[in-house]
Amino acid sequence: MLLHLVDRLMERQLDAEGAALLAEAITARGIAVRLGAASTGFVGTDKVEGVALQDGTVVPADLVVVAIGVRPNADLARAAGLAVNRGVLVDDGLTTDDDSIFAIGECAEHRGSVYGLVEPAHEQARVLAMRLAGKSAAYEGSLLATNLKVSGVGVFSAGAFEAAEGTETVVLRDRNAGLYRKFVLREGRLAGCVLVGDTQGALFYLGLIRSGQDISAIRADLPFGEHYCTARAA
Ligand SMILES: Cc1cc2nc3c(=O)[nH]c(=O)nc-3n(C[C@H](O)[C@H](O)[C@H](O)COP(=O)(O)OP(=O)(O)OC[C@H]3O[C@@H](n4cnc5c(N)ncnc54)[C@H](O)[C@@H]3O)c2cc1C
């Protein structure tokens, strides 16, 4: 059984509909999904026999895998008197509140985000290297993309994929086929997307988000992938 604290799977990477589809696909593979499950402890004497939940239930188990994220170890920075929240606070120059000390990577907190991935660290390193070499450069945050298979189900998301004021949404859904493709547009540009079930074209969409190019001419073809879009634009 998969126990998840909040009311949808992968809440940081998927919108509600994509998460519901993923939960259905996982359930269809024989893995029960229990959402809103706050665990309070393990039950068992010599070995684990179950996971106790806040509502009083005990889910029987003989093996428990815990995946609850990471937290930066910022003790050294804290002890040195640097400003630390979840991570070591840095500005767009990757400078801490002591302007002779910089922080990048998983220990750094920039504009409220602590990234737990390699790519943002590389981007930060690039900016800091430029600055240390006397060139002007600023880090404005990283565009995060998720591209993976969850229990064999393709899942991709990138950018601002939740509908918000000033956005339009293009969706292709085929619930029975376990397919969901959602595109959020802002001012004629692709702001974010979610793909569940079939992630073909993910890098094409990521490129559109990154470039910020006008996609008005291909918006109706977006769900059908790169070849459709490029053929139409040609
Ligand atoms: C199991 C696992 C799988 C992952 N998979 C992916 C993935 O698929 N894709 C992805 O993008 N990211 C992945 N990550 C995350 C990625 O590894 C980290 O985001 C990345 O390594 C962060 O780089 P970093 O240089 O900031 O920190 P780290 O790689 O953690 O390096 C910090 C270094 O500082 C050293 N250190 C700590 N304290 C001190 C001290 N007081 N003095 C001296 N040295 C010290 C540590 O020993 C360590 O070598 C994964 C992480 C884990 C744990």
Cβ of 76 closer than 6 Å to ligand 1, yes or no, is yes
From the alpha carbon of 76, which atom of ligand 1 is closest?
41
Q: Could you tell me where in the chain the CATH 3.30.390.30 domains are found?
A: 145-233
Per-residue pLDDT at 12: 87
The architecture in CATH of the region 75-132 reads 3-Layer(bba) Sandwich (3.50)
Q: Could you tell me where in the chain the CATH 3.50.50.60 domains are found?
A: 2-60, 75-132
Smallest CA separation from ligand 1 atom 41, residue: 76
Question: What residue ranges of the chain have pLDDT lower than 50?
Answer: none
Does this model's pTM top 0.85? My answer is no
Retrieve residue 187's tokens: 């001012």
Residues 6+ apart with CB under 8 A from 185: 167, 168, 169, 170, 191, 215, 219
Q: Which residues pair with 110 in a beta bridge?
A: 90, 113
Q: In 3D, which of 28, 33, 29 has the Cα closest to residue 8?
A: 33
Cβ of 121 closer than 6 Å to ligand 1, yes or no, is yes
Per-residue pLDDT at 230: 84
From the alpha carbon of 108, which atom of ligand 1 is closest?
26
Per-residue pLDDT at 233: 64
- Written out in words, the top-level CATH class of the domain with range 145-233 is alpha beta
> Which CATH superfamily does the domain covering 2-60 fall into?
FAD/NAD(P)-binding domain (3.50.50.60)
Provide the 3-class DSSP secondary structure of residue 212.
Answer: coil
pLDDT in tens, 17-50: 999 999 999 999 999 999 999 999 999 999 999 9
| Max Cα–Cα distance, the chain, nearest Å | 68
The string of DSSP codes covering 105-126 is GGGEEETTB---SHHHHHHHHH
Smallest CA separation from ligand 1 atom 14, residue: 117
Per-residue pLDDT at 144: 86
Give distance in angstroms: CA of 106 to centre of ligand 1: 7
